[in-house]
Structure 1
Amino acid sequence: IASDLAAKEKKDTGHAPTKKKARMYDIFGIMFHRVILDEAHIIRSGKTRAFRACRTLQTDRRLCLTGTPLLNRPDDIQALFAFLQMEPLGQRDIFRRAISQPLRTGDTDGLTLLRAVMAHIALRRNKRTVDMQMVKKEVELRSVEFPVDSPHKAIHDTLFSSAQHAVRATLSAGDKEAMKNYSSVLETLLRIRQACCSGMLVPVERLQRAEVVMEEIRNRSTENLSVAEGKAL
């Protein structure tokens, strides 16, 4: 809905949208009975378009579902208060004066107030509360073998080889640089796993990037990639 909000804002400023865009932002004209925001911590930054889009939705009832209402700082939860229309703490300035600033200075009043508010509005559930018996997980490892002439093997090998070079480039820059780019490494591993299932699952542009880099490596006198090249993969 963040992109839908962008289309709506263009219309509000006098820019005529296409018919497709006009249909997209019709969602903001609907009066919902309730809106449930799953993974609500995603809108923790009140400056993002995603937050503004969610807050713009019209509804009688608002609920947030999240396992991490606080991620890095107290202000993270203020965006949820704003979405829930919890006044006056839904207003950023008041929230900071009442909760954020006292917490930063070590004043226990801020924590006491936050706990009181959460006890009033939050419904917390854990395994002990609901007496849930988790299903025992069984893990089975299997080797995947591709026929030599399989196009899926070619896709897998290209991704695997490019991933090796990318990870080496990242690790060569030190632990600090590796931590900055760990999400890129995880994304690369995801693509390799997809290729094990079917090469058709790998986005075409992602495979093309890997093919271009591998071709460049073959034409070089060295196989080393720069950190920027590794991250671009």
Structure 2
Amino acid sequence: MAQFVQLVKQNPKYKSLALYLLMPARQARPRWWVRKFLNPFIHRRGAGARICRSTRIDVMPFQPFSLGAGSTIEDFSTINNGMGAVLIGERSRVGIGSVLIGPVEVGNDVILAQHVVLSGLNHSYEAIDIPIKNQTCTTARIVVEDEAWIGANSVITAGVRIGKHAVVAGGSVVTKDVAPYTVVGGNPARILKRYNPATAQWERANSNHGHTTN
């Protein structure tokens, strides 16, 4: 099977035919037969995991997608693994109207509030004689570690890692890594608080602190 998949990827004609069979031209959504009959046998869904009725699950069989036990994807959300895997851990929640575009990895016990965008995809734009939509796409994996909370209307850009038990304030745009046990907010997001194990307190950061990296 692996050899067949590799052959299809290497041959432009086979690749074009395979993509045509999987999804309509110039669309990201898989064909109905892929959604109904193929994906359920390929992608893993844990016990008690729930995908609400009014979601758009644009997942393809040639990239991984998994939803851990007890996790929920709320209504009007979109999940797309066309350019990279989307892996969601256990007991996590993807809030109403959120968008996850792979490659994205979400850990266990994570809260993504309403209208959060995690996109591991970027469009190239440098060639001025080619429309941006026709230029090469690049990807960089987003990781949201266990117990993190991403506030409503936040955007996490490609390649960013959100540390364990970190908090992203609502409406933030996060362009750099966030360390564990840190609160960030703003556009671009900056450190607001850190947990100090010596005092067992969440302490405000100095105003001159910038982004944090792992």
TM-score grouping bracket, smaller chain normalisation: under 0.3
Greater Cα radius of gyration, structure 1 or 2 = 1
Q: Which has the higher strand share?
A: 2
Instruction: Report which structure shows greater RCO (CA 8 Å, sep ≥6).
Output: 1
